[in-house]
Structure 1
Amino acid sequence: MTEHRIITIGREFGSGGHEIGNLLATRLDIPLYDNNLIRMVAEKLDIREETARAVDETTLNSFLAGFIFEPIEESSRLNGTEYVPPLTQQVYELQCDIIRKLAERGPCIIVGRCADFVLRDHKNCINVFICADWEDRVERIAAKYDISQRKAADKIKKMDRERRNYYESHTGQEWGSIDSHHMLLNVSRLGMDRTVDILERICR
Structure 2
Amino acid sequence: MSNALLEYLNNRLGKKDVSDTGNNIPGPLITISREVGCSGVKLAHKMAASLNQKRLGPNWKVLSKEVFFHSAKELDMEPEKVRRFFKYSDNYTFNDILNAFGNKKFKSERKVIKTVNEVIHTFAEEGFCIIVGRAAHIIARDIKNALHVRLIAPCEYRIKTIMHNNHLNREEAIEFINRVEKERKAFRKAIRKEAPENEIFDICLNRASFQDEETIYLIEQAAEKKNIFKDYGRHIDFY
By how many angstroms is 1:127 displaced? 0.7
Once the two structures are overlaid, the 10-residue window that deviates more, 160-169 or 149-158, is 160-169
Partner in structure 2 of residue 137 of structure 1: 158
Q: Which amino acid in 2 is paired with 1:7?
A: I
Partner in structure 2 of residue 202 of structure 1: 222
Q: Secondary structure at the match of 1:100?
A: helix
1:19 aligns with 2:42: yes
Q: Secondary structure at the match of 1:117?
A: helix
1:51 aligns with 2:88: no
Report if the CA contact (8 A) 2:138-2:195 is conserved. no
1:54-133 matches, within 5 Å, as 54-56=84-86, 59-61=89-91, 66-67=97-98, 85-86=108-109, 89-133=110-154
Q: Which amino acid in 2 is paired with 1:16?
A: S
Report if the CA contact (8 A) 1:5-1:108 is conserved. yes
Cα distance in 2, alignment partners of residues 180 and 124 from structure 1? 15
Cα distance in 1, alignment partners of residues 48 and 87 from structure 2? 22
Q: Secondary structure at the match of 1:190?
A: coil
Partner in structure 1 of residue 195 of structure 2: 172
Cα distance in 1, alignment partners of residues 39 and 96 from structure 2? 27
Provide the aligned length of Structure 1 versus Structure 2. Answer: 188
Cα distance in 1, alignment partners of residues 195 and 78 from structure 2? 30
Residues 134/4 of structure 1: CA separation in 2 closer, same or farther (3 Å cut): same
Report if the CA contact (8 A) 2:152-2:205 is conserved. yes
Report if the CA contact (8 A) 1:56-1:91 is conserved. no
Cα distance in 1, alignment partners of residues 112 and 163 from structure 2? 30
Cα distance in 1, alignment partners of residues 222 and 96 from structure 2? 38
Partner in structure 2 of residue 81 of structure 1: none
Q: For 1:156-197, what per-residue CA distance to the aligned partner results, in whole angstroms no more than 9, with x for missing partners?
A: 0121122224324524323xx5x5211111110122221111
Runs of 4+ residues deviating >4 angstroms: 62-65, 68-72
Q: Secondary structure at the match of 1:172?
A: coil
Q: Secondary structure at the match of 1:109?
A: strand
Q: Secondary structure at the match of 1:188?
A: coil
Residues 190/122 of structure 1: CA separation in 2 closer, same or farther (3 Å cut): same
1:2 aligns with 2:32: no
Report if the CA contact (8 A) 1:59-1:65 is conserved. no
1:181 aligns with 2:201: yes
Report if the CA contact (8 A) 1:4-1:124 is conserved. yes
Q: Could you say what the CA RMSD is over the residues aligned between the two structures, in angstroms?
A: 2.6
Q: Secondary structure at the match of 2:181?
A: helix
Cα distance in 2, alignment partners of residues 106 and 15 from structure 1? 24
Q: Which amino acid in 2 is paired with 1:11?
A: R
Q: Which has the higher strand share?
A: 1
1:40 aligns with 2:70: yes
**Aligned residues: percent identity?**
24
Q: What is the TM-score when the length of structure 2 is the normalising length?
A: 0.69
Cα distance in 2, alignment partners of residues 7 and 183 from structure 1? 11
| Residue 161 of structure 1, aligned match among 182, 195, 198 | 182
